[in-house]
Amino acid sequence: MHRITAAVLLSRSRLDPSTFPAGKKETLILHRIGGTPEMSTWRASRACLRQPTSLTLVFGIICVMVSDSRVAQAGVSPDVRVMAIQRSTFKAAVYAHAVFIPIEPYVVSRDKAVQNMEVNLGIYRTQSRLARQQNAEIIVFPEDGIYGMTFSRDTIYPYLEEIPDPATEAWTPCTDPHRHKDSDVQVALSCIAQQNQMYVVANMGDKKPCEPSLDPKCPGDRRYQFNTDVAYGPGGEFLARYHKYNLYYEWQFDTPPTPEHIFFDTHFGRVGLATCFDVLFREPIIPLVEVFNVTVIAFPTAWMDALPLLPAIGFHSSFARAHSINFLSANIHLPEFKFDGSGLYASDGAHAFYYGSGAGGLSPKLLIAEMNVVEFHPAASSISYNQLYGFGQVSGNLIDKHDTELKRKKTLSSTRLYSSSDSNSTFESVLFSDVYTFKALTKPSGKLQVCQGKVCCYLEYQVATDEARKAELYAFGAFDGLHTHDGNYYMQNCILVKCADAQNKKSCGSLTFKTSTRFTRISLRGQFETHYVYPQVILSDYKGHLALTPPAAWSFNGSALETNASFSATVLNAVLLGRDYSRDNQGS
């Protein structure tokens, strides 16, 4: 595997490498397999290299063929004659997929499994073609989107394929379909990418035989089964394979022995792979962003909505905001079973999202949006070559050191900032299976402070009229502790929440979708022991149609959420969700 970073001088006006303005140097990342340009995994570079003329436009990228002397002047290896002006935006797509789920409760033949999967693959072909017609350059499909979620370890086996490691084997399944036995899905996905000349990220199942005599962890059925993301380039080339690390009641799959940090480079940024439950934990997604400098997360998911803290559209968009990256979330769309919420998210908010249950939107949907390219920052030089390319482990010491350096070291202030106007008494109520400390909003405007443990939260608010507020109950709460329901993860949270029953404070934290209270100002701040704080604002209405705010409606600075001067919306909840990854195993 070779990575070539070419610092190339180009003039935007004359396209003359020797006259590119000072300070305007662009970086082109070529991610190649083997030693020849013809095997580049970037389709545009391959096309440029094949062109007989000196100037070619490929996928919106201006490519220039230059002489060996020009290549030498630019400091580029003589066999690399591809240069590019990188655009500031790109188009991405995700598909909210109403997956066809096979009904057979027994083990089927491989042929029947392929027949069942072909129903979903046919939809993938159609949606990819539609996305490409709208100039999308990458499309992401959901977790379990090819076969569904209702399998045991044995019944899913015919649906699995042995997926090779692209780090050790260069392969374009579409043009070499018979290299590996029973690779129907891999061939189909490769051809979708090749025929539409776009990046394709999808989720499927991987199987790996093992021998107990050689591997003491080998399962009793002598095989590993992994929930797996795969990525293909615009030429159909196999780019990446990621085994999901954080499983969520997925008895049909095995947890890989160590977390994998998998990504690939494109002209619109470095794309990392993570799946569903992964986003709640440090491994592998935090190192992808902080150590490996991923600027785009391709995120297949089968996310069951979990208001008020973890609705798909809220939490996934908050991850993009907190880390200033692009987050491409493709979710299963079966609202009747709580699978709902897909979107294309960025540091400034949602560029496109779909949440269909409130509006009765049971139909699947293709989402396409223009995204800003996030500046690429080269990874730390101390990371080994294999680690840099996601084919090995990050040292535990490196991550611990990195985490320690980033940890906030300040002592939390015990000053009661709002003591003069905040005389409300606190009460406790259960939210997301945890006991929160709350204060009720009793006035049309005001300031509140509430603390629990070492977390203190501060709210300033204003509602448009007092009528709706009198009919509805809102509360402001804090939580500091280890969440132990459906997984262990330490949270420090501040939340403004609409209570399910205006006459019952114990309903603050219970599920509700509807609200009529219009807020014109929300300023939400917290003092946390962690800097991993994820902000979200969820809107609704009296019908329960959930939504996100426009990108510019509010700002976030790391520990404070502030709406803008023109803000006016029916807010269901606003959250600062703090994650202290270092304390996830506390008490275990």
Of the three residues 44, 73, 102, the one that is the final residue of a domain is: 73
Asked whether residue 325 falls in the same domain as residue 353, the answer is: yes
Asked whether residue 54 falls in the same domain as residue 142, the answer is: no
Position 587 scores a pLDDT of 57
Task: Using alpha carbons, list the distances in angstroms from residue 393 to 295, 361, 398.
Answer: 20, 42, 10
Q: How many whole angstroms separate alpha carbon 119 and alpha carbon 178?
A: 22
Asked whether residue 80 is assigned to any structural domain, the reply reads: no
Asked whether residue 121 falls in the same domain as residue 265, the answer is: yes
**Peptide bond connecting 308 to the previous residue in cis, omega within 30 degrees of 0:** yes
Asked whether residue 399 is assigned to any structural domain, the reply reads: no
Annotation marks residue 143 as catalytic: yes
Asked whether residue 512 falls in the same domain as residue 577, the answer is: yes
Asked whether residue 459 is assigned to any structural domain, the reply reads: yes
Q: Which domain does 469 fall in, by range?
A: 412-583
* Domains identified in the chain, total number: 3
Asked whether residue 171 falls in the same domain as residue 279, the answer is: yes
From first to last of the 588 residues of the chain, give the pLDDT tens digit. 333 333 332 322 223 333 333 333 333 433 333 333 333 333 344 334 333 333 333 333 444 444 444 434 444 444 433 334 457 999 999 999 999 999 999 999 999 999 999 999 999 999 999 999 999 999 999 999 999 999 999 999 999 999 999 999 999 999 999 999 999 999 999 999 999 999 999 999 999 999 999 999 999 999 999 999 999 999 999 999 999 999 999 999 999 999 999 999 999 999 999 999 999 999 999 999 999 999 999 999 999 999 999 999 999 999 999 999 999 999 999 999 999 999 999 999 999 999 986 545 679 999 999 999 998 654 332 222 223 333 333 334 433 443 443 343 333 333 344 443 455 799 999 999 999 999 999 999 999 999 999 999 999 999 997 666 678 999 999 999 999 999 999 999 999 999 999 999 999 999 999 999 999 999 999 999 999 999 999 999 888 889 999 988 999 999 999 999 999 999 999 999 999 999 998 755
Asked whether residue 278 falls in the same domain as residue 420, the answer is: no
Asked whether residue 403 is assigned to any structural domain, the reply reads: no
Asked whether residue 447 falls in the same domain as residue 475, the answer is: yes
Is 199 in contact with 240 (CB distance < 8 Å)?
Answer: no
Q: How many whole angstroms separate alpha carbon 511 and alpha carbon 205?
A: 34
Asked whether residue 548 is assigned to any structural domain, the reply reads: yes
Position 89 scores a pLDDT of 97
Provide the pairing of β-strand 89-96 with 138-140: parallel
Asked whether residue 253 is assigned to any structural domain, the reply reads: yes
Of the three residues 328, 359, 379, the one that is the final residue of a domain is: 379
Position 466 scores a pLDDT of 67
Asked whether residue 318 falls in the same domain as residue 438, the answer is: no
Asked whether residue 258 is assigned to any structural domain, the reply reads: yes
Asked whether residue 417 falls in the same domain as residue 520, the answer is: yes
Kindly report the pTM of this predicted structure: 0.82
Of the three residues 47, 73, 99, the one that is the final residue of a domain is: 73
Annotation marks residue 494 as catalytic: no
Asked whether residue 397 is assigned to any structural domain, the reply reads: no
Question: Dmax of the chain from CA atoms?
Answer: 79
Q: How many whole angstroms separate alpha carbon 176 and alpha carbon 194?
A: 12
Tokens of 184: 């129907």
Asked whether residue 68 falls in the same domain as residue 93, the answer is: no
E-state strands within 33-152: 55-58, 61-64, 89-96, 138-140
Q: What is the CATH number of the domain that holds 184?
A: 3.60.110.10
Position 557 scores a pLDDT of 94
Which is catalytic among the residues 63, 137, 143, 494? 143
Position 468 scores a pLDDT of 60
Asked whether residue 361 falls in the same domain as residue 272, the answer is: yes
Contacts of 320 (CB under 8 A, 6+ apart): 297, 326, 327, 345, 346, 347
Asked whether residue 429 falls in the same domain as residue 335, the answer is: no
Long-range contacts of range 132-136, CB-CB < 8 Å, 24 or more positions apart? 132/196, 132/197, 132/198, 134/91, 134/93, 134/368, 135/91, 136/91, 136/92, 136/93, 136/198, 136/368
Which is catalytic among the residues 48, 276, 451, 494? 276
Annotation marks residue 290 as catalytic: no
Which is catalytic among the residues 244, 283, 457, 498? 244
